[in-house]
Chain A
Amino acid sequence: DAGVIQSPRHEVTEMGQEVTLRCKPISGHNSLFWYRQTMMRGLELLIYFNNNVPIDDSGMPEDRFSAKMPNASFSTLKIQPSEPRDSAVYFCASSSQGSDRYTEAFFGQGTRLTVV
């Protein structure tokens, strides 16, 4: 398997523009996570899906952020409108849940977002 695939790897956009980050989880995994990482705030869980359903979005910073998972092989994280403080590395991770709880999560290589 190619692992978790994120696109784009780098994104530079102007303040106010819409940004869409994409993620393809590992085939067969049924949980997907979106994280944001900055020097100031560390690694933050934004939202996670189980079987394509959003389970916990309490980490989504504000209404400008939205995430979807239309099927088991694709998810998007959208920021509209983007602001300079959204600049960060955004990671997508997936895992395969067994009978219960979190298991090992595999991370994609991340998307480095810069909003100018």
Chain B
Amino acid sequence: QQPVQSPQAVILREGEDAVINCSSSKALYSVHWYRQKHGEAPVFLMILLKGGEQKGHDKISASFNEKKQQSSLYLTASQLSYSGTYFCGTEKGDNYGQNFVFGPGTRLSVLP
């Protein structure tokens, strides 16, 4: 039931772009994105609800394709502060709070 994230890890130079994907074998109601820096707690980035909307703030945006049961996180002109592990969390089903689960994470390293 855990969503699949790809790639598992990515190394970038400052200013480069990256895409992190999250996919599920089950129909999704929503996808959540969090970032966790080493030794710290996960921090919320955004939630996308079914409907294919795209959200974003600053230079980080995300899309959600419910038909394909996948979401993508886009990091544009990456900064050193973007380094960390990115988790997607997926919510399935029609009942409140059913089967929310995090993916295994994608480790992003931004180098100067």
A108 at the interface (CB under 8 A from B): yes
Chain A nearest Cβ from B62, distance in angstroms: 14
Which of A42, A91, A104 has a CB less than 8 Å from the CB of B44? A104
For A74, the chain B residues whose CB sits under 8 A away are: none
Interface size class on chain A is: 20 to 34
Expressed in whole angstroms, the Cα–Cα distance for A109 and B36 within the complex equals: 11
B47 at the interface (CB under 8 A from A): yes
Expressed in whole angstroms, the Cα–Cα distance for A112 and B33 within the complex equals: 23
Expressed in whole angstroms, the Cα–Cα distance for A56 and B100 within the complex equals: 10
A101 at the interface (CB under 8 A from B): yes
CB atoms of A43 and B44 under 8 A apart: no
A45 at the interface (CB under 8 A from B): yes
A103 at the interface (CB under 8 A from B): yes
Given A43-B102, A105-B44: 4 more A-B contacts, CB < 8 Å: A43-B87, A45-B101, A101-B96, A109-B40
Please give the residue numbers on chain A whose beta carbons come within 8 Å of chain B beta carbons, in ascending order: 31, 42-45, 48, 50, 55-56, 91, 100-110
The 6 sampled A-B contact pairs (Cβ below 8 Å) are A31-B97, A50-B97, A91-B41, A101-B91, A102-B30, A108-B41
